[in-house]
Structure 1
Amino acid sequence: MEMEPYVYWFLLAFGLLALEMVTGTFYMLIVSIALGLAGIAALLGLNLPLQITLSAMASIIGTVILRRMKGMSTGKMISQSLDIGQSVRVISWREDGVARVHYRGTEWDAELESSSLQRDGVLYIKAIQGSKLILTPYKPQQQ
């Protein structure tokens, strides 16, 4: 007794769904959903090339959406850093405008957000670019 094509699609979809539960990457979830859509297409009687095309397109679109969502969440995470608004103690300034500052028990490279700002007084962390602190004389509000 031979199984219908939609059964294969759904078995593949559930297999990837189970594998996704183990890995937690979400990419397999996208492909699992795409395979499920191909199974629905097979159930509706669409031919195999349309089933494969639908599955491939759903995988591509889902992956693009997931990557954009991950990019947005990374941006939000950076802007909500607990370091933003904290004061630093300047140890020294170099001629190129880069400072060595003391913060969290160690020395960091830092620079002013704008070269026109004054270097005197208390400076606050406005942003972090890699391992360099971006400083401002105005205390930024944490979001």
Structure 2
Amino acid sequence: MAESTVWWLITGCVIAIELLTGTFYLLMLAIGLAAAALSAHAGLALTAQIGVAAVVGGGAVVAWHRLRPQSSTLRASANHDVNLDIGETVQVEAWHPDGTTTVKYRGAQWTAVHGSGVLPSTGAHRIVEVRGSQLVIEKFEP
């Protein structure tokens, strides 16, 4: 069996494992393994093929880690990619003495609190976080 065939088989196995686990970094390593298979087709020695796999796969992992969107580092409760309620507006009529308010949102009554460093005021507010069944809101500035 040719060396390139072995590299392609290993690449396929790593991709299959990535599909089962959802670990995107394995896909980056598979790119390195595919590069090693191409270097085997080019006739490079086995040590060079291993070096190509390490440099390309490791480089792809580092590049993905540095270039991935920074919004993924937010907590899920405050990340618009996870919770589509983030950024939506609600209308505050009055605040309760305990620092909470009741707002109507999506056809239901929700308890809301103001974000840290935000003074309670009436009017339009934007949802910045969802904590269980409680909304964290801040004054909406269009």
| Mapped partners of 1:134, 1:120: distance in 2 | 11
Distance 1:86 1:59, change over 3 A: farther
Task: For 2:51, give the aligned amino acid.
Answer: T
**Within 5 Å, which residues of 2 pair with 1:74-113?**
74=72, 78=80, 81-84=84-87, 85-88=89-92, 90-92=94-96, 99-103=99-103, 105-111=109-115
Question: How big is each residue's C-alpha offset from its partner over 1:89-130, in whole Å with a ceiling of 9 and x where there is no partner?
Answer: 554356xxxx32334544343236655xxx4322402523x7
Question: Which segment drifts farther, 80-89 or 36-45?
Answer: 80-89
- Deviation of the 1:13 alpha carbon: 0.7
Unaligned runs of 5+ in 1: none
* C-alpha contact 2:93 2:122 (8 A) present in aligned 1: no
Q: Give the TM-score taking structure 2 as reference length.
A: 0.65
Unaligned runs of 5+ in 2: none
Q: Give the TM-score taking structure 1 as reference length.
A: 0.64
Of 115, 126, 136, the match for 2:139: 136
Distance 1:50 1:109, change over 3 A: farther
Identity across the alignment (%): 21
Distance 1:111 1:123, change over 3 A: farther
| Mapped partners of 1:83, 1:90: distance in 2 | 21
| Mapped partners of 1:67, 1:27: distance in 2 | 9
Distance 1:126 1:6, change over 3 A: same
Q: Report what 2:39 is aligned to.
A: 41
| Mapped partners of 2:32, 2:62: distance in 1 | 13
Of 33, 49, 52, the match for 2:50: 52
User: Any idea what SS the aligned residue of 2:136 has?
Assistant: strand
User: Any idea what SS the aligned residue of 2:64 has?
Assistant: helix
Q: Report what 2:121 is aligned to.
A: 120
User: Deviating runs (4+, > 6 A) in structure 1?
Assistant: none
User: Any idea what SS the aligned residue of 2:100 has?
Assistant: strand
What is the root-mean-square deviation of aligned Cα atoms in Å? 3.3
Equivalent pairs counted in the alignment come to: 128
Question: Which segment drifts farther, 53-62 or 20-29?
Answer: 20-29
Task: For 1:121, give the aligned amino acid.
Answer: T
Q: Report what 2:61 is aligned to.
A: 63
* C-alpha contact 1:127 1:135 (8 A) present in aligned 2: yes
Distance 1:22 1:83, change over 3 A: closer
